[in-house]
Amino acid sequence: MTTGRRPNVRIDIEDVVADAEVADEVNDASLTKKGTKRKRAPPTKGPCEHGLKYRSRCKVCSACPHGKWRKRCKECGGSQICEHSRQRSKCKECGGASICEHSRQRSTCKKCGGSQICVHGRRRSTCKECGGSAICEHGRQRSTCKECGGSAICEHGRIRFSCKECGGGSICEHGRRHSRCKDCGGASICVHGRVRYQCKECGGSAICEHGRIRFSCKECGGSAICEHGRVRYQCKECGGSGICQHGRQRSTCKECGGSQVCEHGRRRSECKKCGGSSICEHGRQLHRCKECGADEGTRRR
């Protein structure tokens, strides 16, 4: 009979311990290498030290040198930036996935019934009746509310991006908004030199069937018209936001230092020293100057 070979079971314990220690060192060294598969963290504590489950979704961990998400940074050439310097999913020319058939973002398109549109036809986050998350206790958008100290309000009490003194991003070199500046060829200016959505000839979206701006049309029941038949923010009985404590329009009140009052105590548009917009090159009011071609009836008025 042939006998099987018996394994050598006589091994010193010291050798086994030494081999185990070497194996542990190898495992520890392999964990530091790139591409090592780690154990899943508990649900309460994500792999990111800032509390996010996925490190790639953390703005701090995946931020580029410009303080943005690397994949959405134009300067870094992020993967989500298209050739038109927009987010690929929101670019109309690239046919982004979030653009609907009406050339709007699908989530905010009323015709498509976007997920962000409430039953009142407004954005859910900015709808007062729905109690939107962006509405503060004063009934305004939280970011633009002065009393709440909104993040979009600058130190001068204006919206930061449209403040000239702060050098807002929407202010052009002519001191106007980029989109509404004729000299800069703003995107909101139509071929007739007017704001596109308020142009009757272009059929602007803000023009109603009576040829007026829809929200200020009494016959259409515009949202800016109060129960007294006036523009709500200019109505004294309604306590409009445009009425100051002296019973005048806040923008033209000298005692309140209205925005339309210049340093000479006149309306900025009618002040010769300030070069008001209604002053012609001859130093007269534009609608009363003969040389500028003012109508005779207008001059008499």
Structure token pair of residue 144: 């633009």
Q: Identify whether 297 is part of a domain.
A: yes
DSSP string, 27-88: HHHHHTSTTPPPPPPPTTS-SSTTS-SSGGG-TTTTB-TTSSBGGG-TTTT-TTB-TTSSBG
The 10s digit of each residue's pLDDT in 167-185 is: 888 888 888 888 888 888 8
What's the burial of 175, exposed, middle or buried (CB within 10 Å: 0-12/13-18/19+)? exposed
The 10s digit of each residue's pLDDT in 247-277 is: 888 888 988 888 888 888 888 888 888 888 8
The 10s digit of each residue's pLDDT in 137-171 is: 988 999 999 889 899 999 888 889 888 888 888 88
Q: Identify whether 275 is part of a domain.
A: yes
Q: Identify whether 287 is part of a domain.
A: yes
Contact 240, 225 (CB under 8 A): no
Q: What is the pTM of this model?
A: 0.44
* Cα distance between residue 38 and residue 266, in whole Å: 72
Print the domain residue range for 285: 265-301
Total of domains in the chain:
1
* Cα distance between residue 52 and residue 72, in whole Å: 19
Structure token pair of residue 231: 């523009």
Q: Identify whether 220 is part of a domain.
A: no
Q: Which residue has the tokens 């702060």?
A: 166
Q: Identify whether 278 is part of a domain.
A: yes
Q: Identify whether 289 is part of a domain.
A: yes
